[in-house]
Structure 1
Amino acid sequence: MFTGIVEEVGRIARVQPGTHSAVLHIQASTVLDDLKIGDSVAVNGVCLTVTSLQKDGFSADVMHETLNRSGLAQLRAGSAVNLERAMAAQGRFGGHIVSGHVDGQGTITQIERDDNAVWYTVKAAPHLLRYIVEKGSITIDGISLTVARVSANDFAISAIPHTVAVTILRDKRVGDSVNLETDIIGKYVEKLLTPAAEPAKDSAITMDFLARCGY
């Protein structure tokens, strides 16, 4: 579990491609503190498992499904990436609940300054926008951000200078794709409220049964 508060910007040292997978070798410093093989690290918002450690970085395997769902397939040697270790039990929840399981990608269509803030407008598919609500939370490339505006085709966030400066938002341009993870709570609520495809079988627990048992 992550919070969407990026700890540092790392850099891709090397991409080792497989037939339908890849191994990322990532240069880092801050996240290496107490990092162990088997630990989880969010790389641009994608939860990856550390498979090996080096003095100046770590490596992680990326599965076929992950490459299809996220923008990790577009990374090259030298690419900057947002990094966050999994949240410690005693840590502060500075962002929101982030699973590191990317729902899909969006495209930046507009970047504009507004005094000390920077607005990013992101085009997204309808199946993603249905879970994005104004003043709700959205994870963009692993960054926990607040949704400022939503339309039928896109949404916008307003980032403070600090967030832009310490994440790869500083490098983003119009036309760039970004990883998106929508608020996990909304997805679970929808699932629970959706009627099952198969009607439930008659239950032996009835109002009469509950009354007779003292409820």
Structure 2
Amino acid sequence: QQAESIRAVVGNATAGADAALIDALPKLEIVSSFSVGLDKVDLTKCKEKGVRVTNTPDVLTDDVADLAIGLILAVLRRICECDKYVRRGAWKLGDFKLTTKFSGKRIGIIGLGRIGLAVAQRAEAFDCPISYHSRSKKANTNYTYYNSVVELASNSDILVIACALTPETTHIVNREVLDALGPKGVLINIGRGPHVDEAELVSALVEGRLGGAGLDVFEKEPEVPEQLFGL
């Protein structure tokens, strides 16, 4: 009933403005998202209608990069498993299995934007060599560039997803990429859930074709594959 009077839409990482909503608001002037990604906004329709689009591109850069490092450490050192081990008193029966260090691991980053670069800078403090894949090779960086995600995964111990979600990056991590990362490799997703073919990820983890995964997001939130809880 108020469609004729609405001039602005405010969204976030989970709600934005699709083509139907934009068409339904004839006086819409601006769509503002208080998140980094714009995957919930139909940018093509906004351009067609002359609707301005804004976001908050640097508001969570440090927070997300910090989380990426936290997830890497949690997976490699099995911190969550160790916590459960201690809480149930299993340490009285024997030592926890050996884990692996983060220092020196080869880090591959999909998307060397603000967040990807912040992850790289933090990983360098652990003496990790950095490589990346993006739409084009970045100037002013000495990091190794790979033209394909498969090639990047083949040369990484840890693969971090830090790119924007677009039709081109949906399922950018598929079975081929996971197999290239291998049984000792670790996948970290701090981007968007649909970046990963979740069914293939579950299969790779269950079958032991992938060493581990640290996930901040899931493909069909709030749904999470039941198999992941048993790993």
TM-score, normalization: structure 1? 0.24
Q: Which has the higher contact order (CA 8 A, sep 6+)?
A: 1
- Higher-strand-fraction structure: 1
- Higher-helix-fraction structure: 2
TM-score, normalization: structure 2? 0.23
